[in-house]
Amino acid sequence: MLSVVDHPLIKYKVSLLRDKNTGPKEFRELVQELAMFLTYEATKNLELTEQVVETPLATTTGFVLCRKIAIIPILRAGLTMAEGVLKVIPNAKVGHIGLYRDHKTLMPVEYYAKLPIGIEDMVCIIVDPMLATGNSIRYTIDLLRQQGVSQIKVLSIIAAPEGIDNVLSCGDIELYLAAKDERLNDEGYILPGLGDAGDRLFGTK
């Protein structure tokens, strides 16, 4: 399932992100804010169970989430998105995945993985701001499924069509985007995109 979330504030904030004159402080804030919007959309179908609540005046029916939530940022650009998701779901667990790209095969190689205990029963939200080839997200989906995870949502800010197809071909995935761009260039950057998200977030390069 693909959802390119259509909202004037999302369009406006993505435009600010794209602007080469936007500095790291504003860039980080925008990534967090966009992650919050995407989380709101992506969590609309979470299951609830009823629970009795005592207000100061009466007894009423309240709700709690049926399942715990794990946020899975792909290092390093996913970290800032995870902070945005945590603002909306502060009790979520966080599992980190570190991948680098092998220069010969161009495929992701894992250098770090630390996942919450009991992840197999959680709703997992993978976050990575740029969905380019989709290979890193695909790797992460496979890794989570190997751990027994069945409900996976992916949040990215900007995606290329190639990456979208790659992720959706994993099957039974909910993919939420703020923008769908035109294509990848020969170096694997999204066009028009916003450049290297990690460098712009952390002021490197």
Where on the chain is the footprint of ligand URA (CB under 6 A)? 77, 130, 132, 188-190, 193, 196-198
CB of 80 to ligand URA, least distance (A): 12
Selecting among 18, 22, 101, 145, the annotated active-site residue is 101
Distances (CA, A) of 181 to 88, 163, 193: 26, 10, 7
Told to judge if 105 belongs to the known catalytic residues of this protein, a careful annotator would answer yes
Selecting among 43, 199, 200, 204, the annotated active-site residue is 199
Q: How far is 135 from 29, CA to CA, in rounded Å?
A: 27
Q: From the CB of residue 187, how many other CB atoms can be counted at a distance below 10 Å?
A: 6
Nearer to ligand URA, 139 or 189 (CB): 189
Nearer to ligand URA, 44 or 103 (CB): 103
**Residue ranges in 4-159 assigned as alpha helix (H):** 8-18, 24-42, 78-88, 135-146
130 is in an annotated binding site: yes
Told to judge if 121 belongs to the known catalytic residues of this protein, a careful annotator would answer no
Nearer to ligand URA, 20 or 44 (CB): 20
CB of 198 to ligand URA, least distance (A): 6
21 is in an annotated binding site: no
Selecting among 43, 196, 200, 204, the annotated active-site residue is 196
Nearest-CA neighbor of 120 among 89, 139, 154, 145? 145
129 is in an annotated binding site: yes
Told to judge if 196 belongs to the known catalytic residues of this protein, a careful annotator would answer yes
Nearer to ligand URA, 115 or 175 (CB): 175
Peptide bond before residue 116 is cis, with ω within 30 degrees of 0: no
Burial class (CB in 10 A: 0-12, 13-18, 19+), 177: buried
135 is in an annotated binding site: yes
CB of 191 to ligand URA, least distance (A): 8
Q: From the CB of residue 145, how many other CB atoms can be counted at a distance below 10 Å?
A: 15
Q: From the CB of residue 152, how many other CB atoms can be counted at a distance below 10 Å?
A: 22
Which residues are known to be catalytic? 101, 105, 196, 199
Residues annotated within a binding site for 5-phospho-alpha-D-ribose 1-diphosphate: 76, 101, 128-136, 196
